[in-house]
Structure 1
Amino acid sequence: MSSFNSHAWVLFTSTLPGRSQSTPRVRLWRALKELGSAPLRDGVILLPANDRHRAALEAIGAQVEKDGGTAWLLELPAQRPMVEEQLRAAFDRTEAYTELERKLVGLRSDAVGLDETSARQRLRQLHRDFEGVSAIDFFPGDAQARVRVMLEELTEQLNRRFSPQEPAASDGQIAQLKSSDYHARQWATRRHLWVDRVASAWLIRRFIDDEARFVWLERPDACPKDALGFDFDGAAFTHVGERVTFEVLTASFGLDADPGLVRLGRLVHFLDVGGIEVAEAAGFEAVLAGLRDTAPDDDALLNAMTPMLDGLYQRYLTAET
């Protein structure tokens, strides 16, 4: 354990009636586990004192009382250093980080034989696992830092393999544009379309320029001078801040108030750079991977993906209205 300052604690103790069904007990156990609590002794759990933990434990206590039990939430002041050390040891997440390290090494070893979809699915799961452990690692130390570096390095490794020309996010402002000024234009992006590029091409043709002509580039520096580039460094439309190209296009052309496009943007964002998981993401990615493996070229791939994107958009639009 690293050096630390004294810390206040909250103690939570509860009992449920002996005749209580298993459901309340399981619900209580799951709620306390999700908080990252540590058992101090039978029926007593410990957490660092903060507003979030107090509020969560109060809600759990209310549910216990609703189920016919009793619950107490108590404050424990900071203890002398030896006791503090023992209390903090109950929250040691080294074992969880060690398991994450093992999985990261496994993915790094397996990556050579994996396709992009499988590799990125496993990588996203590792990101989620790391975020889950970090959220309950109340006293982070070397283990968290080490796994964070390994995860960043593996992410960069997979990006170099599968998306060697993936754009870096810029800090620029998103200009407000009129689609009427972008009619029957030539648009260009990197070939071998993946999530952000295929969704952006669909968006352009459906909502911005219905007579758009696309050029699929072997290299971004081969972009024609009169073409509007998207989703590569130096392109007219690419990542800005935390927004992926699809989201930048919707914001640029005033489409970001459309609830269907907003939800579609969340899916694209998750699959492209991670973040909040979207239920349809795995299916979308699997279909795209299968079509990309069988489509003769990117024009055919875009045409094949268009009905799926149309359907998702209409489903999202209907769900929001």
Structure 2
Amino acid sequence: MKVRNKFKGWLLIFYTVPSMPVNNRIRLWRRLARVGAVPLKGSVYILPHTEENYEFCQWLVSEVSSVGGEGSFVKVKRVETLEDRVVIDLFNKQREKEYREIEKGLESIERRVNSIKKGSRIEDYKRISDLMNKYLREFEEVRKVDFFSSRFGYALEKKIRNLTSEFKGLAGEEVKKQSVSIVPRHKEDYQGKTWVTRKRPFVDRMASAWLIKRFIDRQASFKFIDENDLKTLKGGVVTFDIKNGDFTHQGNMCTFEVLMKSFNLRDKSIKKIAEIVHELDIKDDKYRNIETKGIEKILLGIRKIAEDDIHTLEKGISIFDMLYESST
């Protein structure tokens, strides 16, 4: 949540709660820390004034009251005894402290990568990959409350990306085992087609249908069958995300990725969606996006309320339309 271009001032938070039970005090402190608040003086906390933070303060005061405490908050343009740059420095120093904890954890991965460079075998690929994802998740959590884009955060992000890229490069043998050759296809050969897939569409089929309709065949229609009925189909249809289909999983790629590569779709926003679909469909921890869980819940909701498969697909397509537009 960056505030540099929409800075409105500050929110000062005051609260006291009974000393017992201790759990209440700890819970409130953790929630303040999670949203990026920093202590200003004594028991006074401060946040940049944004709509999200204002809403959080309203919730916090209500929560304090519910456990028998007293709380309030005020919005101010400035703190009279402190220049804005001094307050901003308080935030940056706290974020730097949190970033340094992550950097410290990355040191073990750096040592392992250096060992691999010297000839060690990558026998613990999964464990290292899990660690990388763990520290990436922690970094994303801190970055969400790095309100003033601290220099240390930028440097650490660059370090994480370089380390991730370097490790994946060293793990080339692992990648080669899953590598496949994708045959290039031409959109003009796939216009006005009936695209057939399995019944009960979910993530990969919804996203693939969106990709087909928006970037490959705008006149596409869709049909659903049982997987065992594939041999009964007549010519002229195109099958996707179905066993032995025209476009389906290959190696460690989901159908969406296969379609993207087959038709040479290089849009950055499409690639971002491909990562999310891969996460949800393949579940191999190759990518980590903060939007993924939310998208999954929305698509699960669609499956529950949709009247039939076509209705499910249409609603799924609309979600990926909105996701794409939000990324461009």
User: Structure 2-normalised TM-score?
Assistant: 0.56
Answer whether contact 2:257 2:274 (CA < 8 A) is retained: no
1:254-293 CA-to-partner distances (Å, cap 9, x unmatched) read xxxxxxxxxxx625367232224989xxxxxxxxxxxxxx
Letter in 2 for 1:109: R
SS of corresponding position for 2:18: coil
* Alignment-derived partner of residue 44 in structure 1: 44
Q: 1:40 to 1:114 in 2, by over 3 A?
A: farther
1:268 aligned to which of 279, 282, 286: 282
Question: In 1, Cα distance between the equivalents of 2:65 and 2:164?
Answer: 46
For 1:26 and 1:215, the matched residues in 2 are separated by 49
- CA-atom RMSD, angstroms? 4.7
Instruction: Report the Cα offset of residue 135 of structure 1.
Output: 1.2
Quick one: distance in 1 between partners of 2:47 and 2:287?
33
Identity %: 18
With structure 1 as the length reference, what TM-score do the two structures score?
0.57
Q: Residues 179-208 of structure 1, C-alpha deviation per residue, up to 9 Å, x if partnerless?
A: 77x946xxxxxxxxxxxxxxxx9x632xx7
Identify if the C-alpha distance between structure 1 residues 33 and 183 changes in structure 2 by more than 3 Å, giving closer, same or farther: same
1:242 aligned to 272, 285, 300, which one? 272
Partner of 1:100: 102
Structure 1: stretches of 5+ with no match in the other structure: 185-200, 218-227, 249-264, 280-315
Query: Corresponding residue for 2:31?
Result: 31
2:234 equivalent in structure 1: none
Count of aligned pairs: 234
Matches of 1:85 and 1:214, distance apart in 2: 53
Change (3 A) 1:110 1:17: same
Name the structure 2 match of 1:191.
Answer: none
1:204 is the counterpart of 2:242: yes
1:135 aligns with 2:134: no
Contact 2:96 2:150 (C-alpha < 8 Å) held by counterparts: no
Distance (whole Å) between structure 2 residues aligned to residue 246 and residue 29 of structure 1: 33
Q: How far apart are 1:9 and its partner, in Å?
A: 0.6
- 1:117 maps to a residue whose letter is K
The structural deviation recorded for 1:215 is: 8.6
Helix, strand or coil: the match of 2:73?
A: strand
Q: 1:214 & 1:129 partners in 2: Cα distance?
A: 31
Q: Structure 2: where are the runs of 5+ without partners? A: 117-121, 182-210, 232-239, 294-299, 306-328
What does residue 161 of structure 2 align with?
152
8 Å CA contact retained: 1:104, 1:150: no
